[in-house]
Structure 1
Amino acid sequence: MAQVSEATRAKVADEIKFDILEGVPEDENDLKRSQIARTFISDTVTIPTKEMYSYALQASLGDDVYHEPSTFALEAHIAKITGKEAGLFMPSGTMSNQIGLRTHLMQPPYTIMCDHRAHIYKYEVGGAGFHSGAAVTPVIPSNDHHLTLDDVKANVVYGPDVHFAPTEVIALENTLNGTIIPQDEVIAISEFAHSKGIKMHLDGARIWHVAAETGKSLKELVEPFDTVSLCFSKGLGAPIGSCLVGTKEYITRARRIRKLFGGGMRQTGLLSGSVAYALTHHFPLLPRVHALARKLEKSLEDIGVTILSPAETCMIFYDAGSIGVTYDEIAERGLALPEPLFLGGSRLVLHIQTTEAAVDDFTKLIATLAEEKRKAGFVKPEVKVNGHQDVYVRRAH
């Protein structure tokens, strides 16, 4: 092989180097923090604080495929507080759910039952079918709030009939769209499922909100489930990560499947340190988030906005049409404010970095739009169709 000159190596090195900070204003991150404080699109938008980074930088520097001390400690802690035997750190909630399901499911045919609004059904790109060869039974709750034991019994598949793929896993989500499943209903479903040999999985991405709102321990909340996925970036404000918990045997198999899925990671100590900071310092902030959401809900109702799903925790769903506007109008007017608001659709999500000023400004914006539409002749009639949501009309001058 011909000898390479230092000049040639320097040329290659010069092509490769990259300064990601070039051209970025010094105050760029401060601007981003101010925008996040006024963003109602999701709670995944939260960003790490300087204090979180400072703490996380002190975490260990191991390789998670071999042994990463801080990550192993985090997994053990999450297992402990959930009352499970072992845990496994994941880069995302979707991966945590999909590996959680895949580890349960050995050989088709089988079915997963869930709420028709569930994340594993609607927002994970059909992963259950792709990764696990599983059919999904999406069930519409008869009470329009949460699945009940009666809903489960009406849709579960078991027994010898060869025409149907048996229900292998019942997957619940708590919270689901910000609403809490009553614990007695969870227990009833779990007892029935286990009596039929059916496994129970919980998408507990926002289970932290349930614990903060109800005062129940995580162990009590997840005891009815065989496995649980918990998210650290939703609600808690860590930059990345989820954890899957279950028995030691189950997690050993899940660790191999995580590697199969491309989820084996290297120096995860920085991420685990961020999660530890969030668990300690951010979980106690959730009651304030819930109180702020309830304040916003009441303000919207006082204006005359119809609430489609109330603020049980951090989310509100509202009907823009009830005051004669569209969501696009609201979003455009929000962006046009001197300090912009970032909005999207019928869902309002509050998080640990939402400010009270942002909530007040959004309320003022809605009040202004409602008044404009009222003056333009919009009337919200009292009539209901089939006992459901109000029908709204725009009346000409």
Structure 2
Amino acid sequence: MPSLTDIRFAELAQTIACDVHSKTQDDDNTLKVQEISRAFVSDTITVPTKEMNAYALRASLGDDVYHEPSTALLEAHVAKITGKEAGLFLPTGTMSNQVALRTHLQQPPYSVITDARAHIYRMEAGGAAFHSGANSIPIIPANEHHLTWEDIEPRIVSGTDVHVAPTRIIALENTLNGTIIPQDDVIEISKNARSRGIIMHLDGARIWHVAAETGLSMKELCDPFESVSLCLSKGLGAPIGTVLVGSTPFITKARWFRKLFGGGMRQTGYMAGCAAYALTHNFPMLPRVHALAKRMQQGLEQLGVDILSPAETCMLFYDPSPIGVEYWEVVERAAQLPDPIKLNGSRLLMHIQTSPQAIEDFLELLRTLKEEKAAAGWKPENAPPKKKTLFRDVYVKAVRPV
């Protein structure tokens, strides 16, 4: 006969029990993979394959705050291929960038130079100011493509004037909006920065794409920088994770800040296994992704659509107004297709699970919209003046007029 305590505990256990599976979970997952193959919103939406899961489940079962063997091997491998002494696995790219800045920067006042479009500046919730007390100096490239030393040099803050925050770091991003910084310009910036005692950091969230497109080794791409953040969950399709690389003393200190920021994790072997699988099996798929993006751009140009930022790697930004179409119309009609396409505005991003048919279907939709506009009396001379590719105009969200 169970005791009253046993009965109460059984009742408590029932209230605590949780099942996150739907009644049709396997079918739901199959549909989700199909949806992902027809979504151009981001490359973060990719999901682990059965093969990735099978490999990752065989990874080690350690606690990364103490020692996790598979994670340590991943960190060492990424450090080796980038030519750095050590690596550190973190849950997100934002945390990786912010930990890097905080580790490099010792005591305010100081400033960080970035591209005006950079993730560190625009998309990390003011983290440089909050975590490191750093002033940001955003620069719009004169060539409207990438920063050069000519852009940066006049904006460097130096000297002992108490009114200013001296520049301690130049943080580049490669790729940025999918475009590649020419390596000669990276090297020139690094050479001049180092001669002035300025640290170089790279937000290399999609640096894998640069290597795949240019043929340059990871070491060549990372040599000009003291630290590099390399995402695994974007182009490579791992479910989570970023590796920060640098010198051994830098990574030792960064590990401390990772703990302080709440990024110390426990059983990370599975995540490291997914990342290793992605490096081995998904990196070779990136040229195909670039080809899909270039096909998308070619099709849009043939329709008369403007390209705001070209498909140098995995993404492009477009403007349908020259054919009389607005973003919200594209988004709504794409969602109404028999096999829907998911969009959110001007950015079109291809990934390793993108369906080639989705691109053709998207182009056909725009062709249909163009024909409908023409049939309704719209003419090319009605188009608004061609937009300059100002950085604030590249990211455009689709909003239906009220």
Provide TM-score, normalisation by structure 1. 0.95
Matches within 5 A, 1:186-225: 186-225=186-225
Q: Once the two structures are superposed, what CA deviation does each residue of 1:299-333 show, in whole Å capped at 9, x if it has no partner?
A: 10001101111100001110021211111110110
Q: Which moved more, 1:18-27 or 1:209-218?
A: 18-27
Matches within 5 A, 1:276-315: 276-315=276-315
Amino acid of the structure 1 residue aligned with 2:117: R
Distance 1:385 1:40, change over 3 A: closer
Distance 1:386 1:14, change over 3 A: closer
CA distance in 1, matches of 2:4, 2:100: 50
CA distance in 2, matches of 1:326, 1:88: 44
Q: Mind listing any 5+ residue stretches in structure 1 that lack a counterpart? A: 390-397
Q: Mind listing any 5+ residue stretches in structure 2 that lack a counterpart? A: 390-402
CA distance in 2, matches of 1:388, 1:276: 42
Distance 1:4 1:151, change over 3 A: farther
CA distance in 1, matches of 2:42, 2:369: 23
CA distance in 1, matches of 2:7, 2:372: 69
Q: Once the two structures are superposed, what CA deviation does each residue of 1:177-235 show, in whole Å capped at 9, x if it has no partner?
A: 00000000000000111011000000000000000000000000110000000000110
Q: Once the two structures are superposed, what CA deviation does each residue of 1:257-301 show, in whole Å capped at 9, x if it has no partner?
A: 000000000000000000000000000000001011111101100
Q: Once the two structures are superposed, what CA deviation does each residue of 1:110-163 show, in whole Å capped at 9, x if it has no partner?
A: 000000000001100000010000110000000000001100112111123322
Residues 63, 267 of structure 2: 8 Å contact kept: yes
CA distance in 2, matches of 1:219, 1:20: 43
Asked whether 1:335 is paired with 2:335, we answer yes
- The percent of aligned pairs where both chains have the same amino acid is 62
Residues 322, 384 of structure 2: 8 Å contact kept: no
Q: Counterpart of 1:232?
A: 232
Q: Which moved more, 1:160-169 or 1:297-306?
A: 160-169
Q: Counterpart of 1:268?
A: 268
Q: Shift of the alpha carbon at 1:384? A: 9.2
Following TM superposition, the consecutive aligned residue runs of length 4 or more in structure 1 with deviations greater than 4 angstroms are 382-389
SS state at 1:138 partner:
strand
Matches within 5 A, 1:43-58: 43-58=43-58
CA distance in 2, matches of 1:192, 1:45: 38
Q: Counterpart of 2:396?
A: none
Q: Counterpart of 1:148?
A: 148
Q: Shift of the alpha carbon at 1:169? A: 0.4
Q: Which moved more, 1:96-105 or 1:22-31?
A: 22-31
Q: Counterpart of 1:246?
A: 246
Distance 1:279 1:324, change over 3 A: same
Amino acid of the structure 2 residue aligned with 1:98: Q
SS state at 1:170 partner:
strand
CA distance in 1, matches of 2:305, 2:386: 20
CA distance in 1, matches of 2:257, 2:197: 23
CA distance in 2, matches of 1:383, 1:354: 31
Amino acid of the structure 2 residue aligned with 1:68: E
Matches within 5 A, 1:70-219: 70-219=70-219
Residues 97, 120 of structure 2: 8 Å contact kept: yes
Q: Shift of the alpha carbon at 1:375? A: 2.0
Equivalent pairs counted in the alignment come to 387
Residues 57, 273 of structure 2: 8 Å contact kept: yes
Amino acid of the structure 1 residue aligned with 2:157: V
Q: Counterpart of 1:37?
A: 37
Q: Counterpart of 2:394?
A: none
Residues 38, 358 of structure 2: 8 Å contact kept: yes
Q: Once the two structures are superposed, what CA deviation does each residue of 1:345-393 show, in whole Å capped at 9, x if it has no partner?
A: 100000000011001000100111111112222233499969947xxxx
Amino acid of the structure 2 residue aligned with 1:135: N
Residues 321, 384 of structure 2: 8 Å contact kept: no
Residues 323, 383 of structure 2: 8 Å contact kept: no
Distance 1:386 1:285, change over 3 A: closer
Q: Shift of the alpha carbon at 1:26? A: 3.0
Q: Counterpart of 1:395?
A: none
Provide TM-score, normalisation by structure 2. 0.94
Q: Which moved more, 1:370-379 or 1:344-353?
A: 370-379
Amino acid of the structure 1 residue aligned with 2:196: K
Residues 293, 313 of structure 2: 8 Å contact kept: yes
Q: Once the two structures are superposed, what CA deviation does each residue of 1:227-259 show, in whole Å capped at 9, x if it has no partner?
A: 000000110000000000000000000000000
Amino acid of the structure 2 residue aligned with 1:121: Y
SS state at 2:30 partner:
helix
SS state at 1:153 partner:
helix
Amino acid of the structure 2 residue aligned with 1:162: V
Distance 1:211 1:13, change over 3 A: same
Residues 89, 242 of structure 2: 8 Å contact kept: yes
CA distance in 1, matches of 2:126, 2:319: 29
Q: Counterpart of 1:374?
A: 374
CA distance in 1, matches of 2:261, 2:160: 33
CA distance in 1, matches of 2:207, 2:381: 38
SS state at 2:299 partner:
helix
CA distance in 2, matches of 1:291, 1:311: 9
Q: Once the two structures are superposed, what CA deviation does each residue of 1:82-111 show, in whole Å capped at 9, x if it has no partner?
A: 000000000000000000111001110000
> What's the RMSD between the two structures over aligned residues?
1.5
CA distance in 2, matches of 1:382, 1:213: 39
